[in-house]
Each structure stands twice: as C-alpha cells, then as structure tokens.
Chain A
C-alpha cells in the first residue's frame, strides 16, 4: 500500500472540492486494502483508519444535505407561488364555462316566462 497523503484530522466542514476529492481518494485506497486482506489484525487496523476518513466524509455529506434542505425550503415558496397563479388561471377558465352555463340558464328562464304568458 502506498503512503497516504497527509490530510488534516479535523478539517473545516464543508470540505473544499479538492479536499473532498482527496479524502474520497484516501477512503477508496483504504477500502481496496481492506478488501485485499484476510488477516483480521491488518483488516481491523485499516478499518479503524478508514473510519476516521469515513466520519469526515459523512459529516461533510450531512452538511450538504442540510444546506440543500434550506434551498428546498426556498424553492417550495417559489413553486407554491406558481401554483397559486395556475389556480387563478383555472378559476378564469371555469368562469368561461360558467358564462356558457349562464347563457343556457337565461334561455331557460326566458322559456319559463313565455310559458306563463297566455298566447
């Protein structure tokens, strides 16, 4: 196994893209080494080291999910605004149909009045 690059043990979260890629690369190297040995001592030691890197990547990921949550919140307001516009448009379309119904109702009403007037 090649010597892993020196990375900060407690980096600032969120990671920069370069640092994230470096930690991901280190994680993958540990994983390859873990999968390549059946020696429980070596495997256990590698897993303990990999766990530190895993924890940093997971913290960074959870930070990312949280940040996305705030953005989703903002987006929800925008989409709800658009849906309100569409609701208004639907009501206007309904009003056109109601206009046709009113036309029929007026004809029906005239018909009733005429029926009451003796010819």
Chain B
C-alpha cells in the first residue's frame, strides 16, 4: 500500500496490471481467432480440393495432345498411301494449340493464387511478423522504463536510497600487535525499472492480441464480399473444366479406338506380309494400348469428380463467408479454446526468452 508520505507517483500494482493486460489479450485474441478460423478451415479445404484439379487438368491436356499425336501417326500411314490430298506431316494440327493450353493453365494458376491468398489472409491474424513486432514493442517498453525510472526519480527529487553497505576490514600486524581497521562504504541502488519482465511480456501479448484483433476486423469486413463475388466465377471455371473433360473423353476414346483398329487391321491384312515374330510383337501391343485407354478414361473420371468437389468446397467457403453455415457456432466454440491455447503458447515463449 502506498504511504501518505511517499511522493512517488502511484503505480498500478503489478498483479493488477498483469491481469488487466492478460484479460485484454485473451478477449481480443479469442474474438480475432474465433471469427476467422472457420473461414481458414474452409480455405484450407479449398486449397486441398484445388491442388488435384490443377495438377490433373494440366496432365489431362498434355495427355490428350500426346494421345492425339499417336493417332495422327497411325492415320499418316493411310493418308500417305491415299495420294490425294498429298500427305504433308507439317500441316497436321495438334488437338489443342499452345495458346489453348496456355490460357487454361494461366486460369488454373490464377485460381490457385486466389486460393493461396485466401488461405494466407485467413491465417494472417497470428502471423510470425505480428508476433515479432509485438515482442519488440514489449522489449522497447521495458528498456524505456529502465531509462525513465531515474528521470522520474530525479524530477520528483527523490534521493537515491542506500541499497547496499560494504564493510572492509584490513588487518595490520606490527611485531606482536595486530590492528584491525574497518572501512564502511555505501553503494546507491540502481533505480528499479517500473516495467518488469512480467509486465513487458504481458504488454507484448496484449499488443499481439490487439494486432490480431485489428487484422481480424479488417479481414472480416473485406474478405467475405470478395469470396462471395468469386463464387459465380468458380462455377464458370468448373463448368468449363467439366466441358473440356467431356470433350477430351470423347476425343481420347475415338483416338484409342482408331489406333487399336488400325493396328488390328494391319495385322489381319495378308498384304502386310508379317513374319511370325513381327506379328506376335504387334499383337502383344494391342492389350497394352487398351490398358492405356482404360487408365486415361479413369483419370478423366477422377478429374471430373475433383472438379465437382472443388465447386462444392468453394461454395461452402462462400456460405461460411456469408455466415450461412450452421456448423459455424459449434466450430467457433472450439476455436475459442484453441485461441486461448495459442495466446498461452505465445506468452510462454516470451517468458522463456
């Protein structure tokens, strides 16, 4: 308790200041993390749903082109022998031009960048940069307190109190006589730093929570409209991808059929005049081509399913952004607990520094 005669300015008792900072920290942090976590979970799910679509779609375009090239190689034999029109390998068009593939990959890359940004923004309330800035603010406050303490004392005219007394005894022996001489010296105490490490850590955590709160408020206001406005574009993207897949499925199926049928006819025709070993090798190639046909078909079917999943996942994210998700409340309650643990971890990391 402060003495009536003590001219020092009143300070908040440390436990009270510490408790206030921690209460502010926890309440801000719970609000910040609790508000954004469901969005972040949906965004992470969207990222997981996007990756296979991007990878598989790029592979599907490349694969469709190479299967079509194989078909045109087989077609070349008949076209070469037909005479008219004169076969010219330079004029054989690819199934998809470089521009066709390039624009599709650019759209997929742009969409992936969108997803990565949403994931980053929804997880941004607890960023390492913010934690570093908050820790630095607490440390700066601590060193400021240490610089301020003597100034405060000096301004208020408080004499430095003797904090320690040192007694030095020197023994002098002359003949049989020993004389002991004692000297007493006092060292003034260093002015106590009003910002203890506990307070500095509490302030760091509070600043971190305040930063998280401000970021959360900004994200909560700005991000949902962006996600909601993106939802129709994602539907268009998924419809286009699905349309591509349907077209490619048809083309690949006909390309493989053409290759197998031409190879089979070549083996069957007496004019081919194959010897036994050559014939055997060509026949054995047929099931391998059929297996590739089945694999390609399965990959496109999987890609179709991944596209549907992607559209649904983004739609769920948009619903969450609009607050239409009934699971949100339950999820938020879980996040409150997680937020409490997070802020505790951050504070512990400060204490152990």
Main secondary structure of the interface of A (DSSP, over half): helix
Cβ–Cβ < 8 Å partners of A89 in chain B: 121, 218-219, 222-223, 226
Report yes or no: A90 in contact with B240, Cβ–Cβ below 8 A: no
Cβ–Cβ < 8 Å partners of B59 in chain A: none
Cβ–Cβ < 8 Å partners of A38 in chain B: 268
Cβ–Cβ < 8 Å partners of A75 in chain B: 107, 233, 236-237, 240
Report yes or no: B218 in contact with A93, Cβ–Cβ below 8 A: yes
Q: Which of B121-139 contact A (CB under 8 A)?
A: 121, 124, 127, 129-130, 133-134, 136-137, 139
Given A27-B254, A58-B254, A64-B247, A100-B211 contact (CB < 8 Å): yes
Q: Which of A38-72 contact B (CB under 8 A)?
A: 38, 40, 43-44, 47, 51, 54, 57-58, 61-62, 64-66, 68-69, 71-72
Closest to B145 in A: A111
Cβ–Cβ < 8 Å partners of B257 in chain A: 31
Cβ–Cβ < 8 Å partners of B264 in chain A: 43
Complex formed: what's the CA distance from A82 to B113 in Å?
Answer: 10
Interface size on A, residues (CB 8 A): 55
Partner of B261, one of A34, A62, A90, A101: A34
Partner of B140, one of A34, A90, A96, A108: A108
Complex formed: what's the CA distance from A78 to B236 in Å?
Answer: 11
A112: shortest Cβ distance to chain B, in Å?
Answer: 9
Partner of A65, one of B150, B244, B254, B270: B244
Cβ–Cβ < 8 Å partners of B144 in chain A: 107-108, 110-111, 114
Closest to B155 in A: A119
Report yes or no: A61 in contact with B247, Cβ–Cβ below 8 A: yes
Closest to A69 in B: B100
Main secondary structure of the interface of B (DSSP, over half): helix
Classify chain B's interface size. Answer: 35 or more
Q: Name 4 extra pairs, CB < 8 A, besides A79-B230, A89-B222.
A: A83-B110, A97-B211, A99-B211, A107-B140
Which residues of B are at the interface with A, using a C-beta cutoff of 8 A? 95-96, 99-100, 103-104, 106-107, 110-111, 113-114, 117-118, 120-121, 124, 127, 129-130, 133-134, 136-137, 139-141, 143-144, 147-148, 150-151, 154, 207, 210-211, 214-215, 218-219, 222-223, 226, 229-230, 233, 236-237, 240, 243-244, 247, 250-251, 254, 257-258, 261-262, 264-265, 268-270
Closest 8 A-B residue pairs measured CB to CB? A107-B140, A104-B137, A114-B147, A100-B133, A86-B117, A104-B136, A79-B110, A40-B268
